[in-house]
Amino acid sequence: MKRTLIALSTVFMITSCSTKQEVAPKDFMELPKWAIDANIYEVNVRQHTKEGTLQAFQSHLPRLAKMGVDILWFMPIQPIGVINRKGDLGSYYSISDYTGINPNFGTLKDFQAIVNEAHELGMEVILDWVANHTSFDHHWVQEKPTFYTQDTQGNSPIVALDNNGNAIEDWTDVADLNYNNEELREAMISEMDWWFTNTGIDGFRCDVAGFVPYDFWKDAITTLRSKHGPLFMLAEWEDPALIQAGFNAVYGWEFHHIMNEVAQGYKSVQAIADYALKSDSIWPSHTMKMYFNTNHDENSWNGTVKERMGNYGDAMYVLASLMKRSFPLMYSGQEAGLNHRYPFFSKDSIGLDWESKHPQAEFFEKMLSMKHKYQALHNGKYGYDMVLEIDTITNSMRIVRANPGEQNSVIGIFEFGKLSSTYEEPQNLELLISVNGAKVWGSKLD
């Protein structure tokens, strides 16, 4: 029967659109045109191939380009510290030389070859940047001790601190940098600039960006863009102030945790609606939020997609892709059916089958194609407004991304309960995706 929105108190509908007058910051004008409909693929060089090298990964570039990947985000490829090292190979984020290459991965020439081929194939490359801390054997420790935070006795360096000045549990392999030192700030910007000047990368994913002073980020981003043009900057943090500081995109950590809890049955679709309302009220309209059903941290520390989301893993990726502001992430190996946790401090011994095409590859190809073809799903303010309807009785929801008069709409219906949804399937649209818990339709395009 036809659904009546006002008949049930358990039905909730929001229209997600900007109602306030916004003045886009100058840095917004620096958004690269290629980022308007972009997706992102996280590259874990150590674990991606049996060899764990840059050269071995390079052979995957044509496949990823054909799949529709736009941005390659490389986890840190720099040398890893030895002092206080964890495990056999250490944490990717304990960097001993900002402008070096981890010898286990290869050489600078190897990385340059990847950047060059990626650009030829129409992909962009961003590099993880760890500005909050270094390893304890970074050359600055001896050469520039005042670059590091001191303890109460005036000794430095000390382990990385959180925003309350407390040592971060289990970060014993990294030393806290002191951003009260102006010389450090200048040196850090210089190290970042080195990668643009010498390799031609297209931006950075900035690790724990909220632990670094925001005025540093504003200075760094402004300086780098003035020299190199519209670079792409992604913050691993979730704070609107980082968008004002010049970042193009931030992590969608809160939404990721909500998706886990909805998939596990701890929360209902009401939590998704509440998040959408809050997000629309506090985030600038040009914000891009990186949504995901897994990444390197989630996979290694909290479990595989299957462990956290059960049979709703694909549905949650679909949901993440349809949300307003969505900038979807795929992690190394997801398209090959990654079904185990990569160890964080050592080499994966299980590996992936790259010889045969996994069914997940077709799913991601369809999702990435949908993102490109439908303007309704484009990033930030370039996408269409969102109407989200929920029914808490059946724990189901519908998302409509459309503009009045436009023929480029997308509709998704999601079912996360035991009862079937009563939402009617659209008859005049084309079925684009059908997975457990989610179906998506779109306007028929020429």
CA atoms of 158 and 99, how far apart (whole Å): 23
CA atoms of 57 and 50, how far apart (whole Å): 10
pLDDT at 406: 81
Question: pLDDT-based confidence at 445, cuts 50/70/90?
Answer: confident
Q: Where in 104-259 does DSSP place strands (E)?
A: 124-129, 133-135, 174-176, 203-206, 232-235, 249-251
CA atoms of 102 and 106, how far apart (whole Å): 7
pLDDT at 27: 45
Which of 27-31, 136-140, 249-253, 401-405 comes out lowest in average pLDDT?
27-31
Question: pLDDT-based confidence at 9, cuts 50/70/90?
Answer: very low
What pLDDT, in 10s, does the model give residues 27-43? 444 689 999 999 999 99
CA atoms of 234 and 229, how far apart (whole Å): 16
CATH number for the domain formed by residue range(s) 25-384: 3.20.20.80
Question: pLDDT-based confidence at 15, cuts 50/70/90?
Answer: low
pLDDT at 237: 98
Which of 20-24, 365-369, 424-428 comes out lowest in average pLDDT?
20-24
CA atoms of 231 and 224, how far apart (whole Å): 8
pLDDT at 156: 86
User: Which residues in 189-212 are b (16+ Cβ under 10 Å) and which e?
Assistant: beebeebbeebebbbbbbbbbbbb
Tell me which of 10 and 349 has the higher pLDDT. 349
Question: pLDDT-based confidence at 13, cuts 50/70/90?
Answer: low
Question: pLDDT-based confidence at 10, cuts 50/70/90?
Answer: very low
pLDDT at 152: 86
**Residue 442's beta-bridge partner residues?**
410, 430
Cβ contacts of 96 within 8 Å, gap of 6 or more: 78, 79, 80, 81, 82, 134, 135, 137, 138, 139
pLDDT at 405: 80
The terminus-to-terminus CA distance of the chain in angstroms comes to 32
Which of 23-37, 209-223, 352-366 comes out lowest in average pLDDT?
23-37
Structure tokens at 194: 């080195």
Query: What's the CA angle centered on 184, arms 204 and 216, to 5 degrees?
Result: 50
What percent of the chain shows pLDDT beyond 70? 93
pLDDT at 154: 86
pLDDT at 5: 33
Q: 203, 233 in Cβ contact below 8 A?
A: yes
Residue whose C-alpha is closest to residue 72's, from 105, 31, 24, 120: 120
CA atoms of 63 and 54, how far apart (whole Å): 15
Q: Which residue has the tokens 């991304």?
A: 401
For range 408-437, the mean pLDDT? 95
Question: pLDDT-based confidence at 3, cuts 50/70/90?
Answer: very low
What pLDDT, in 10s, does the model give residues 150-167? 998 888 899 999 999 999
For range 42-66, the mean pLDDT? 98
What pLDDT, in 10s, does the model give residues 113-135? 999 999 999 999 999 999 999 99
Query: What's the CA angle centered on 36, arms 30 and 42, to 5 degrees?
Result: 95
Q: 263, 416 in Cβ contact below 8 A?
A: yes
CA atoms of 332 and 109, how far apart (whole Å): 22
What percent of the chain shows pLDDT beyond 90? 89
What pLDDT, in 10s, does the model give residues 177-204? 999 999 999 999 999 999 999 999 999 9
Q: 11, 389 in Cβ contact below 8 A?
A: yes
What pLDDT, in 10s, does the model give residues 236-262? 999 999 999 999 999 999 999 999 999
Cβ contacts of 285 within 8 Å, gap of 6 or more: 18, 22, 380, 381
Q: 148, 176 in Cβ contact below 8 A?
A: yes
pLDDT at 199: 98
- DSSP symbol at 293: S
pLDDT at 17: 52
| Total-model pTM | 0.94
User: Which residues in 350-363 are b (16+ Cβ under 10 Å) and which e?
Assistant: eebebeeebebbeb
- Hey, is 41 helix, strand or coil? strand
CA atoms of 218 and 337, how far apart (whole Å): 39
Domain boundaries, the chain: 25-384
CA atoms of 170 and 87, how far apart (whole Å): 13
